């Protein structure tokens, strides 16, 4: 089965510090990968998606960046965190069913608190 591992699960960082959240995928190859942010237990905001190694599309301009150094690795980074970067970050990948339905499977999330 396809699974996503995210770490760290929780992170408390001071304003202005760097960030690195990592997502790795098991059980599939060449998935599309996504980073979402969820504020206050509500809706999902798509931040970045990647269709392959080194290919990143940004949906929202911000001080975050993403990289995909390997097929099954997707990293969310920041050089200097802002208070507004606090939230719950979810990594997701496309389910490989051969139908290209767009169905996603999600990691367990990383909760970031910026103080």
Partner 1 sequence: AQSVAQPEDQVNVAEGNPLTVKCTYSVSGNPYLFWYVQYPNRGLQFLLKYITGDNLVKGSYGFEAEFNKSQTSFHLKKPSALVSDSALYFCAVRDDNAGNMLTFGGGTRLMVKP
Provide the sign of the torsion angle of the four alpha carbons 54, 8, 15, 58, taken in this order. Answer: positive
- Asked if 7 interacts with partner 1 (CB under 8 A), we say no
Own/partner contacts of 14-18, CB < 8 Å, gap of 24 or more, are: 14/81, 14/114, 14/115, 15/80, 15/81, 15/82, 15/83, 15/114, 15/115, 16/80, 16/81, 17/80, 17/81, 18/77, 18/78, 18/79, 18/80, 18/81
Does residue 104 touch partner 1 according to CB under 8 A? yes
Q: Which CB atom, from 14 or from 99, has the smaller least distance to partner 1?
A: 99
Choose the stretch contacting partner 1; rule: CB under 8 A; options: 11-19, 69-77, 78-86, 88-96.
88-96
Residue 31 within binding range of partner 1, rule CB under 8 A: no
CA triplet 6, 97, 44: central angle to 5 degrees? 45
93 touches partner 1 by CB under 8 A:
no
Shortest spacing between CB 37 and partner 1, in angstroms: 12
Examine residue 106 and tell whether it contacts partner 1 (CB under 8 A). Answer: yes
Position 94 contacts partner 1 (CB under 8 A): yes
Question: Could you list the residues that contact partner 1 (CB under 8 A)?
Answer: 4, 6, 32, 41-44, 46, 49, 88, 90, 92, 94, 99-109, 111
């Amino acid at each position: 089965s396809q699974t996503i591992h995210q770490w760290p699960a929780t992170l408390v960082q001071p304003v202005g510090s760097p960030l690195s959240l990592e997502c790795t995928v098991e059980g599939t190859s060449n998935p599309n990968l996504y980073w979402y942010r969820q504020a206050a237990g509500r809706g999902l905001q798509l931040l970045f998606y990647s269709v392959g190694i080194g290919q990143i599309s940004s949906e929202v301009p911000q001080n975050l960046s993403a990289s995909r150094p390997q097929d099954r690795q997707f990293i969310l980074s920041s050089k200097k965190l802002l208070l507004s970067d606090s939230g719950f970050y979810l990594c997701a990948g496309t389910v490989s069913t051969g139908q290209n339905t767009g169905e996603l499977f999600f990691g367990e999330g990383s909760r970031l608190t910026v103080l």
